[in-house]
C-alpha cells in the first residue's frame, strides 16, 4: 500500500490540479492512502475534506521578501515547520511527496529531501513561483503545464483537469448546454468570464458595449462572477449568470471566449478548443501574461492588456473579429493543437516514476 502526501494550496490554481491528481491516484490504486498537506487558511481547508481526503496542516509561512521582523523570525519558524512535516513523513510512512506550489510546498520539499523521500513537482503557471523554482532543484521529476515554462527538469505534462473536461463529448455537451443556458443553437456564442470571482474590467467593458457584439450576429453568455456584477440591459441574445457550476457546458457551446489567462482557464480552453481574447490579470507577479504566450504564439489567442480592454475596444475592435468566422475557426484548430486532456494521467506517471527511482536505487 502506497502512501502519497500531496502538498499545496492557498488558491484554486494550486488546489484544483492537486485534487485532480489525488483522484487519479485513488482511481489507479484504490488501496493507496492519499494525504494532503496545506494550511488552515487556504482554499484547501474546505475543498480537501469535502473531496474525502485527510488534510494535514502547517502554519502559513511566506518566504520573506524584505528585511523586517518577519524575516528575522523566519529561520526558526522554517525549522519548526520543516520538522513538523518530517514528523508527518515518518509517522504516516509516506512513500512519495508531490508538490503543487504554494505555502505548504516549500517545507514539504525540504522535509522530503532530508528524509530521502522521493519527490515530484507540478508547476501550473508559465512563470514559476519561488517554492517550485527552489524545489525543482531537488528532483528530476518536474511537470509543467506550458511549453514556454523555464524550470529545472521541467517536462510537459499539461494541467491535471477534472473529469468533466477530460471526458467531454462536444456534440452532446453542446446540445445540453444550449438547453441549459437558453441559447439559440444556430447562433454562435461568445463566452465572457473572469473566473469565479469575476473581472471588473472585463465585465464593465463588455456590459457597456454588448450591443455591438450582438449586432455582429453573435449571442453572449456572460458569467460575471460574485464580485463584479453588472446590470442586465434585457437585450435579446445577452445571457447573464453570476456563477456557473457547469463550466464544461459553457465551454462546449462557445466558439470564442473573452477571459483572464489563469492556468486553469487556459488549460480548459485548450482542451476543448475554444480560442480566446485574453485579458491577463495585471496584479501578482504577472504570471497570466506568461501563461498566454503559448496560445498567442500558435495563433490561438489574442492578448489585450487590462487597461486597453475598454468599452471603446469592445465596440470598435471585436466586431471585426466576430464577423471573421474563418479566422475564428482557424484559431480554434490552433487552440486544440496545444490542448492536453490527459494531464492527470501524465502527472501520475511522473509521480510513479519518482517512486520507482528510489526503489531502483534500493535494489
Tallying the residues shown for the chain, one arrives at 363
pTM, rounded to two decimals: 0.92
pLDDT given at position 259: 97
User: CA-to-CA distance for 184 and 180, rounded, in angstroms?
Assistant: 11
pLDDT at 363: 47
For the beta carbon of residue 235, count every other beta carbon within 10 angstroms. Answer: 13
Beta-sheet strand order (sheet of 119-123): 54-57, 33-38, 3-7, 96-99, 119-123, 142-144, 154-156
Domain spanning 164-337: which CATH class is it, in words? alpha beta
Q: What is the mean pLDDT of the chain?
A: 93
Q: Are 335 and 275 in contact (CB under 8 A)?
A: yes
Which pLDDT score is estimated for 42?
83
| Cell digits of residue 122 | 507540478
pLDDT in tens, 144-167: 999 999 999 999 999 999 999 999
| Cα gap 116→110, rounded to integer Å | 10
Which pLDDT score, from 0 to 100, does residue 9 have?
Answer: 83
Burial class (CB in 10 A: 0-12, 13-18, 19+), 184: exposed
- Kindly tell me the sign of the dihedral angle through the C-alpha atoms of 180, 184, 188, 194: negative
Give SS3 for 137: helix
On whether the CB atoms of residues 194 and 260 are closer than 8 A, the answer is yes
- The residue among 53, 44, 151 whose CA lies nearest residue 105 is 44
In the prediction, which pLDDT does 323 show? 97
Numbers of helices and strands, H then E, in the chain: 16, 13
Cell of 296: 498567442
Query: Which fold would CATH assign to domain 3-161+342-362?
Result: Rossmann fold (3.40.50)
Domain boundaries, the chain: 3-161+342-362, 164-337
Give the position of cell 496584479: 283
Report how far residue 107's alpha carbon sits from residue 67's, in angstroms, rounded to the nearest whole number: 21
Say how far apart CA 180 and CA 178 lie, in whole Å.
6
Neighbours of 72 (CB within 10 A): 10
pLDDT of residue 296: 98
The reported pLDDT for the residue numbered 360 is 56
Q: How buried is 152 (Cβ within 10 angstroms: 0-12 exposed, 13-18 middle, 19+ buried)? A: middle
Q: Please give the pLDDT value at position 196.
A: 66
Q: Where are the alpha helices (DSSP H) in the chain?
A: 12-28, 44-50, 69-91, 105-115, 130-135, 163-166, 170-181, 200-214, 247-252, 263-272, 287-291, 293-297, 311-316, 318-323, 325-337, 343-362
From CA 16, how far away is CA 264, in angstroms rounded?
A: 8
- Could you say which residues of the chain have pLDDT below 50? 362-363
Q: What is the pLDDT of residue 256?
A: 98
Amino acid at each position: 500500500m502506497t502512501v502519497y502526501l500531496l502538498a499545496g494550496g492557498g488558491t484554486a490554481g494550486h488546489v484544483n490540479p492537486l485534487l485532480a491528481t489525488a483522484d487519479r491516484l485513488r482511481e489507479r490504486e484504490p488501496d493507496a492512502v492519499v494525504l494532503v498537506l496545506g494550511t488552515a487558511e487556504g482554499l484547501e481547508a474546505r475543498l480537501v475534506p469535502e473531496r474525502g481526503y485527510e488534510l494535514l496542516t502547517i502554519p502559513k509561512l511566506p518566504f520573506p521578501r524584505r528585511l523586517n521582523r518577519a524575516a528575522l523570525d523566519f529561520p526558526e519558524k522554517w525549522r519548526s515547520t520543516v520538522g513538523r512535516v518530517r514528523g508527518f513523513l515518518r509517522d504516516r510512512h509516506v512513500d512519495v511527496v508531490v508538490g503543487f506550489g504554494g505555502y505548504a510546498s516549500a517545507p514539504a520539499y525540504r522535509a522530503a529531501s532530508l528524509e530521502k523521500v522521493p519527490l515530484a513537482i507540478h508547476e501550473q503557471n508559465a512563470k514559476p513561483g519561488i517554492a517550485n523554482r527552489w524545489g525543482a532543484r531537488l528532483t528530476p521529476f518536474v511537470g509543467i503545464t506550458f511549453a514556454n515554462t523555464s524550470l529545472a527538469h521541467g517536462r510537459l505534462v499539461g494541467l491535471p483537469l477534472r473529469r468533466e473536461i477530460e471526458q467531454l463529448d462536444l456534440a452532446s455537451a453542446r446540445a445540453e448546454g444550449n438547453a441549459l443556458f437558453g441559447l439559440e443553437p444556430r447562433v454562435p456564442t461568445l463566452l465572457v468570464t473572469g473566473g469565479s470571482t469575476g473581472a471588473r474590467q472585463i465585465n464593465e467593458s463588455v456590459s457597456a458595449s454588448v450591443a455591438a457584439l450582438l449586432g455582429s450576429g453573435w449571442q453572449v453568455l456572460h458569467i460575471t462572477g460574485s464580485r463584479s456584477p453588472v446590470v442586465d440591459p434585457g437585450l435579446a441574445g445577452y445571457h447573464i449568470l453570476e456563477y456557473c457550476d457547469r463550466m464544461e457546458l459553457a465551454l462546449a457551446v462557445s466558439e470564442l471566449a473573452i477571459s483572464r489567462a489563469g492556468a486553469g482557464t487556459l488549460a480548459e480552453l485548450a482542451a476543448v478548443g475554444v480560442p480566446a481574447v485574453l485579458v491577463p490579470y495585471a496584479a501578482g507577479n504577472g504570471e497570466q501574461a506568461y501563461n498566454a504566450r503559448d496560445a498567442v504564439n500558435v495563433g490561438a489567442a489574442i492578448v489585450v492588456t487590462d487597461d486597453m480592454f475598454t468599452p471603446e475596444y469592445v465596440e470598435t475592435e471585436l466586431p471585426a473579429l466576430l464577423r471573421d468566422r474563418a479566422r475564428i475557426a482557424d484559431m480554434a484548430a490552433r487552440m486544440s493543437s496545444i490542448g492536453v486532456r490527459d494531464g492527470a494521467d501524465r502527472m501520475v506517471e511522473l509521480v510513479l516514476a519518482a517512486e520507482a527511482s528510489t526503489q531502483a536505487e534500493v535494489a
